[in-house]
Structure 1
């Protein structure tokens, strides 16, 4: 068993321990955040069994997508997006964009997608911790924004929600931000929400306990 196989095995064991304790029927998807590593590390992680990878810069996603074009990788875009990068991201056809953080961005996406006769799967990013340093819709506006995107942006396929846990060492505050996201996710399931993306390397077990079904893990996998 090589390093990445051992690392994945350890992480999946930790995920399963929490998942089975809180919800034996929940299926949790792991996105390996590869933003800090070179393509050969992604290839080795793929060979160890990982399939979904996340990048936070369009140019890095393009570079790795080209370098690894022979592999059937599932690419996710997880970073804050500038409007002048929308066309480039659409051309890469990522499986999922986690960071649709406003109705304004959704409308801009939809216009470009309409011209290109394409659709794109996205998550609505929610700033559940209400932190100035984070992007995303404020919780009190999340449902109305989600429904507005569904109504006005037919080329976007809304799959659910994403958030980043509160930036603090106070576990109670991190938990509160995750619980806020999950409550909104539950409210949106009648409107087609299936993905609740929250939890990173430092807090993914807490995120699972709060209802996450998609995790974005980087440092615990690649270092």
Structure 2
């Protein structure tokens, strides 16, 4: 990737994020995670050099490979994919900054067990299926607050930092908006329990997500396009 392209992509994204967040409040800060699952370590390095610091992968092996290739850079690595139970130990060893996809109480209990065995802790977000779509992972919104509290009580090695959801996969903006608003409402209930991140919004809908209260977006193609 050319540095000029990387700079243009990042600047363009930041401009849009700034405009969206300022409509809410000058104090509303939005964190950008570059989703690099379809990109090379070289592209990540170029974006890092022009100012993007946090990147997310959705496969444990890809995360490991890119972390090793780029280990000289203090990149903030996130895991955003579905976590299979047989990959838990591998992920714990990589020690990502944040796992966005804790999608059931069952998975949380299994993760906690393996964290305890290794005497480690891990920061996670509870994934909520606010779009009510069978193709999406995540807990039922009606059970989300209860499950969040159960994880806090039953899984001391998991540090819950908030919630994550993926917008409804439809053309109708009102339906997408409703799914984001539902996640935001749940997030607000969890703030007293230490929730800091409401992770919503990807390349095609991050401006709408920010308008609905997202403070962490996961964008891939917007950052890596034309590379």
TM-score (norm 2): 0.97
Bigger mean CA offset, 14-23 vs 210-219: 14-23
Q: CA RMSD in A?
A: 0.6
Match of 2:54 in 1: 52
Residues in 1 aligned to 2:191 and 2:22: alpha-carbon distance in whole angstroms: 22
Per the alignment, in what secondary structure is the counterpart of residue 62 of structure 2?
helix
Shift of 1:2: 1.1
Match of 1:177 in 2: 179
- Residue 208 (structure 1) aligned with residue 210 (structure 2): yes
Shift of 1:181: 0.1
Instruction: Pick from 28, 43, 53 the counterpart of residue 41 of structure 1.
Output: 43
Match of 2:104 in 1: 102
Alignment of 1:53-202 (within 5 A): 53-202=55-204
Shift of 1:21: 1.2
Task: Note the alpha carbon deviations across 1:18-59, whole angstroms, 9 max, x for none.
Answer: 111122211110000000011000000000100100000000
Residues in 1 aligned to 2:150 and 2:26: alpha-carbon distance in whole angstroms: 34
* Unpaired stretches in structure 2, ≥5 consecutive residues: none
Residues in 2 aligned to 1:28 and 1:22: alpha-carbon distance in whole angstroms: 11
* Unpaired stretches in structure 1, ≥5 consecutive residues: none
Aligned residues: 223
Alignment of 1:11-30 (within 5 A): 11-30=13-32
Residues in 2 aligned to 1:119 and 1:144: alpha-carbon distance in whole angstroms: 22
TM-score (norm 1): 0.99
Runs of 4+ aligned residues of structure 1 deviating over 6 Å after TM superposition are: none
Match of 1:221 in 2: 223
Residues in 1 aligned to 2:115 and 2:66: alpha-carbon distance in whole angstroms: 23
Shift of 1:64: 0.2
